Amino acid sequence: QVQLVESGGGVVQPGGSLRLSCAASGFTFSSYGMYWVRQAPGKGLEWVAFIRYDGSNKYYADSVKGRFTISRDYSKNTLYLQMNSLRAEDTAVYYCAKERGGMYFDYWGQGTLVTVSS
Amino acid sequence: SYELTQPLSVSVALGQTARITCGGNNIGSKIVHWYQQKPGQAPVLVIYRDSNRPSGIPERFSGSNSGNTATLTISRAQAGDEADYYCQVWDTSTNWVFGGGTKLTVL
């Protein structure tokens, strides 16, 4: 069965950096695009970033463009999100999700909490 | 940018039918997906491509999409259906966008 397990969350000061990881199993990782989606406390879902199955294209929400970088390691079946210049408004639970048809998210991880605070 | 509008909350009596709407400009020309999120849990896909149910999702869940409104319908509502529900589309200008979410309460 598909499993997505995020890690790397924690507390970081404004302006700091953090790298999130998402270990994937139960499907052919190299055949599917992958997403990061976040949810601020008490708020709704916000798409953050997408990487194509072959890593050839990456897309970012305007709110994180230039600060966040999505990447993937096929040898480790792992998705990453490098987050730099973090702001208080980046505080959220970050989920990784598997792509289906390039349009929607068919499996989600359990999420990892990132708190940006001094 | 493309926006999706959902009611903040919907209430339904136990065993009755709940309808959760998702409004957007000519949303009927787009493909809509729906997610259920229970407190403290990750979202779960309940409807994809307007009206299709993933395996394991009860037949009580159905979807439709036309004009400026997409609708998630939950028949014979159960206490276990209480959750937040989000609609989502892909748009050429906004990429992947979610509605603000609707809290379903089963009375």
Query: What is the rounded distance in angstroms from the CA atom of residue B102 to the CA atom of residue A100?
Result: 24
| Residue ranges of E strands in B1-106 | 9-12, 18-23, 33-37, 44-47, 61-66, 69-74, 83-91, 95-98, 102-106
Q: How far apart are CA A29 and CA A110, in angstroms?
A: 18
Between β-strands B9-12 and B102-106, what pairing exists: parallel, antiparallel or unpaired? parallel
List the 65-104 stretch of A: residues with Cβ below 8 A of B.
95, 100-104
Taking the Cβ of residue B88 and every Cβ of chain A, the question of whether any pair is shorter than 8 Å is answered with: yes
- Residue A76: helix, strand or coil by DSSP? coil
Q: Which of A74, A86, A89, A78 is nearest to A36 (CA)?
A: A78
> Is the Cβ of B99 closer than 8 Å to some Cβ of chain A?
yes
Report yes or no: B23 at the A interface, CB cutoff 8 Å: no
**Which tens digits make up the pLDDT trace of A59-74?**
999 999 999 999 999 9
The pLDDT, as a whole number, for residue B94 is 83
For residue A35, pLDDT beyond 90:
yes
Count of residues making up chain B: 107
Low-confidence ranges of chain B (pLDDT < 50): none
Tell me the shortest Cα–Cα distance from B101 to chain A, in angstroms. 6
